[in-house]
Chains A and B, each alone.
Chain A
Amino acid sequence: MASAIGRRRTRVAWGFLGPSVLGMLVFFVFPLVMTVYYSFTSFDLSNPPRWNSFANWKFLFGGDPLIGQATFNTLWFVAILVPVRIAGAMLVAWALTRARTASGALRTLYYLPALIPPVASTIAFVFLLNPATGPVNKLLGAVGIEGPGWFTSPAWAKPSLVLLGLWVLGDIMIIFLAALLDVPVEQYEAAELDGANGAQRFRHITIPNMAPVLMFSLITGIIAALQYFTEPAVASSTAMGKAAVGEGASGMLGWPDQSTLTYGQLLYQKAFGANLFGYASAMAVVLFVAAGVVTAVLLRRFSSFTPEVAA
């Protein structure tokens, strides 16, 4: 009897799980397996894939002249853009919890840029930072500072994208704000009675309470940075004077001088520009493994992310 009930429960469970498991198999496992397979083939999307053993992998680790630059740029964004955005969002969220008046209006104001589609916000930002006609350099010029070339300068293009990332930090900021408001006030009061100063309260009360949210932002931020594509692509084409992405876009990716060429962009260029879908698949496998390893390491390092510990 008990086993009959158990079997029935199992069937019901599979009934509920079935659609999502099927979806996972069709839209995740199958493409993943195929991508690994294609990485050992020469494939142009149209002709049947031809087995070429490790040729793509050899090219990836020793033949592609741009892979080093694209990897460096991507890691640069992971190392700079992600922490800067998290720190900026934390600062703004903390400041907003201190606002005595117009807090609702201020929250809306800081969140609004995050609502703008990335293409539109990037185009707007490139115009704001136009070295000759943009208001930013005009303001700098008014106080005697010669503004940099921003998106048109190989040295400044990446920092310009960080500024853009800071401008649209509302998505993280709103989560941090909710988490900050959720920290029990009595913990701060107890710490204050124990003589803890502001920095100590932040380190020992705010940070541990926000650990799950910080971890979520860090992991999603790193994965997004590893796949960074739209903003640098639009910035390159707009700064070149061609406010369009699509037709012949692969020729503009990375401009100026490959300074903003990301790993994801190179992957796209190799697949759809060069018809090297097998090689692009090898690149995609590496990206997937890198994202998986980073996530696993972070989850292990910050075990407080698990609900049991957080609770």
Chain B
Amino acid sequence: MRTRTRIVIPALVAAVAVGTAACGGSSGGGGPTAAASAPPTVSGTIEFWHFFTDREATVIQGVVDDFEKANPGVKVVVKSGQDDQKMRQAISAGQPIDVALSYSTDQVGPLCSSGDFTDLTPFIERDKVDLTQIPKTVLGYTAYAGKRCSMPALADVYGLYYNKDLLSAAGYTQPPKTLSELSDMAVKLTKYNADGSIKQLGFMPLLGYYENAEAHWGPSADAQWLKEDGTSAIGSSPGWQTLLTWQKDLIERLGGYAKLAKFQAALGEEFSAQNDFQTGRVAMNLDGEYRTAFIADQAPKLSYGTAPFPSAQGFESTYGGGYITGNIVGIGKGSKNPEAAWAFIKYLTTDTDAQVKLANGLKNVPTTHDAITSPQLQLPEQFKTFLDIFENEHSSTTPPSSIGAEYQTIFGTHTAKWQQGKVADLPGMLKQVDSEIDAAVKLQAGS
């Protein structure tokens, strides 16, 4: 027994020691760096991981081909359809991924702070990349704690879609600009069946319905998520109370939570032709710019318009802004060819032709001003709204955090109860949200 103990304990200690060294990753420093001066030409092979599949992967491949044509010495090995978690684990383990494109801005915090994504500042400063081409909000979600470890590839922008025929039939010629107008119009546009159930809904106020999310509503009331120290600002930001109070009022005016939940239960799948807005079940809906492509494909006869999402009472001056998020791209810490990797990232994110080609193909918003104003953009008339929202100074995003998107998830667990009428004390609920987020941040910080 003693012999076994003598063997087992050192073995466990060794396992922990080896594991700590092997699995611990590295912090901040090290990794690929920029050469003192930009090489006249780049060459070699780079590995590029992204999450796109099928038609969208073909669009990406088109831009890769253009890059290879312009840089004949570079071969880009593309790994498509890669999930973010898998990519992050591979980079963390030191796999030589030169360029990684992620769909989530929520991972920017850990990717930057850990050094998994290389700091691009030396490359940017050396090559004098004009970052004023990119809106401040977008620059914000691609850096963390002052470290620019990623560049924005394309953006998703959210606004209001409205069915012109249904609005016209109700006597409206313009979309709502304030939330109170939205409520009035939603009530007037809602029709009921003989049994009292909803037949046609003006606007769905329940969070969790398609793109109805706290994050997407936030800019309407300049609602803040985090303070500068990374702790929660939700309880102290008046915008959230305004938004949630407006939501509760509209739920009541439309017949109550149960009636709306029943309507929601019968919704069509979001990305199919049965989407409620595309079938006319809902007259107005909050959605991303990509919906224009789905409508063109699945409901080409739909007469619809787009507009910025209405602003809340007291925040009318923010009208025109909206929620922005997008894809990010960076150099993995295991990159063996950082100069070629940077050349590719620079091409992907700052070259106007490449941005326009991606935007035309993927029907997403390009992230540079020159690309947005390019006459080569072949996008439907309704898409212009999203280009304007993208460049509007009141647009905002969900900030990068050390706990990823956890702060949004925590808030969501409480708003789910709020909209059901299970919460009487709204300020108390928001304080509780603060304390739960702060506890998670503290735990992540190791204290």
Contacts and interface: CB of A to CB of B under 8 A. Distances in A.
Contacts of B445: 42
Interface in B5-29: 12, 15-16, 19-20, 23-27
Interface of A: 29-30, 33-34, 37, 41-42, 44-52, 55-56, 59, 63, 65-66, 130-133, 149, 152-153, 238-244, 246-248, 250-251, 255-258, 269-270, 272-276, 278-279
Contacts of B104: 247-248
A246 B337 CA distance: 30
The 9 closest A-B pairs by CB, nearest first: A132-B266, A46-B114, A42-B446, A274-B406, A48-B24, A152-B265, A34-B19, A131-B265, A50-B446
B381 interface: no
Interface string B44-64: 000000010000000000000
B315 interface: no
B72 interface: no
Given A44-B114, A241-B270, 11 more contacts: A33-B12, A34-B15, A37-B16, A44-B444, A46-B25, A47-B24, A49-B24, A246-B83, A257-B416, A269-B406, A274-B405
Contacts of B440: 274, 276
B369 to A, nearest CB: 28
Interface stretch (B85-93, B227-235, B297-305): B85-93
B403 A66 contact: no
Nearest to A29: B15
Contacts of B19: 30, 33-34, 37
A153 B265 CA distance: 9
Contacts of A270: 406
Contact of B85 (A37, A41, A272): A272
B269 to A, nearest CB: 5
9 contacts: A30-B15, A34-B23, A132-B266, A149-B261, A153-B261, A241-B267, A248-B104, A250-B405, A256-B208
Interface string B246-290: 000000000000000110111111110000000000000000000
Contacts of A37: 16, 19-20
- Interface of chain A, helix or strand or loop or mixed? loop
A217 B15 CA distance: 34
Interface of B: 12, 15-16, 19-20, 23-27, 51, 83-85, 88-89, 92, 103-104, 109-111, 113-116, 208-210, 213, 261-262, 264-271, 402-406, 408-410, 412-413, 416-417, 420, 436, 439-440, 443-447
Contacts of A133: 266
Contact of A45 (B25, B264, B410, B413): B25
Given A65-B436, A152-B261, A273 B25 contact: no
B436 A42 contact: no
A257 B413 CA distance: 7
A48 B30 CA distance: 14
Given A241-B210, A251-B405, A257-B416, A149 B443 contact: no
